[in-house]
Amino acid sequence: MADLPRYLRLCFQSGKLAFLAILVSGGIVLQILACALYNNWWPMLTVIMYVLLPMPLLFFVGTDLSVFQESDNSWVNVTKFMTGASAIGSIAIPAILKHAGVIGWGALALELSSFFVFVLAIMCYIRSDEDDSYSSI
């Protein structure tokens, strides 16, 4: 993409950013619909996990990219474990609520689809960050 004109590169970057914003907005809408359609706000418990999910990465790793590689550093390993536990909790909370009979199948489906839309947005962000950084424009 280095041979493209500057205005075209800016357009592609803006398109990627708009796509990520649409994905995140779609995940939020699915999350709210899971609660509002069934008049049951218990599925909003997963929002706590969404907030807690990046915290270990922010506190223990910072901007170091070694979290994506194998490491002997115990703090990086603890960070990976805590992030994984939070991600599993994002799936487990709606499943437990469904098992307890608090929410129905529709709310469970919307909650899980919201989770997968958020995961897709994160994966697209990581991929777009590897392709081009905004500082290279």
Q: Token digits for 127?
A: 């991929």
Half-sphere exposure (CA, 13 Å, Cβ side) for 102?
Answer: 14
pTM (predicted TM-score)? 0.78
Query: What does the pLDDT profile of the chain (137 residues) look like in tens digits?
Result: 567 777 667 777 778 888 889 999 999 999 999 999 999 999 999 998 888 888 887 877 665 555 566 767 777 788 888 888 888 999 999 999 999 999 999 999 999 999 999 989 888 887 776 655 554 44
| Residue 30 near residue 117 (C-beta atoms within 8 A) | yes
Q: Token digits for 131?
A: 């392709």
3-state secondary structure 87-102: HHHHHHHHHHHHHCCC
| Residue 119 near residue 125 (C-beta atoms within 8 A) | no
